[in-house]
Amino acid sequence: MLVQQALGWRTGILDLTRGEAGTRGSAAEREAEADAAAEILKVSHREALDLPDGNVQNTLENRLKIAAVLRRLRPRVVILPYWQGRHPDHYTTATLGYEACFAAGLSRLDLDASHGAPHRPYKILYASLYSDVRPTFVVDITPYIETRQQALLAYRSQYGEQTMGAGLFVPEADIRERMYSTARHYGLLAGVRYAEPFVQREVSAVSDLMSLPVQSI
């Protein structure tokens, strides 16, 4: 997000749940932490829906809730969790979010006009950092790696040192090493120091073979 901010784009975060079912922290604590992380990332907008934590389902009602936000904010690019993962809420959101993006563009969708005119994002991407898949592309985040660390550690209820749920969360002492080593791995794939991986389902066209990045040999 900081990369897009530096390029002049506005960014935003939509949380589908309030984290009320989490092993650590309350919904109020999670909200305060999310606000702090959003401020560190300098996002233009952040809000949370009221989908039940731990029970996100791909229903028409939930698609309409997300579609209403999409029509109001009108994003060009939407980044969703990858469609495979450990947490059911995450991989369900991949499909739920995609179908909400499609629904938001339907002119006869059952939504009040106050949410805005039909809008369908141009590009849907999937964040694949925590999935064992080869990314479609990576984004150079070298200038922002420390800020990324700060935003992650803003979620103190999850990453702060505590005994509750110790086996479920990465120890705070290990977070920096893991984050930097993972970002370094993806950076090496693309010839930069630190990078963030993403997946897209569609094939991209290239107009000039001579301007392709990343040396082959």
Question: DSSP string of 198-211?
Answer: EE-SSPPP-S-GGG
Contact 47, 15 (CB under 8 A): yes
Which tokens is 32 given? 């305060």
- Low-confidence residues of the chain, pLDDT below 50? none
The reported pLDDT for the residue numbered 1 is: 75
Q: Exposed e or buried b for every residue in 14-53, given b needs 16+ CB within 10 A?
A: bbbbbbeebebbeeebbbbbbebbbebbebeebebeebeb
Distance of CA 144 to the CA centre of its chain: 16
What distances in angstroms separate CA 156 from CA 98, 143, 147, one per listed residue?
Answer: 30, 24, 16
User: What does each C-alpha distance from 50 to 11, 19, 47, 56, 99 come to in angstroms?
Assistant: 21, 10, 10, 10, 18
Query: Which amino acid is it at 65?
Result: K
Strand partners, 80: 126
Q: What is the pLDDT of residue 163?
A: 61
pTM for the whole thing? 0.90
Identify the pLDDT of residue 103. 98
- How deeply is 161 buried, as exposed, middle or buried, from its count of CB atoms within 10 A (0-12, 13-18, 19+)? exposed
DSSP code for 103 = H
CB proximity list for 42: less than 8 A, separation 6 or greater = 1, 2, 5, 11
**Separation of alpha carbons 72 and 66, rounded Å:** 10
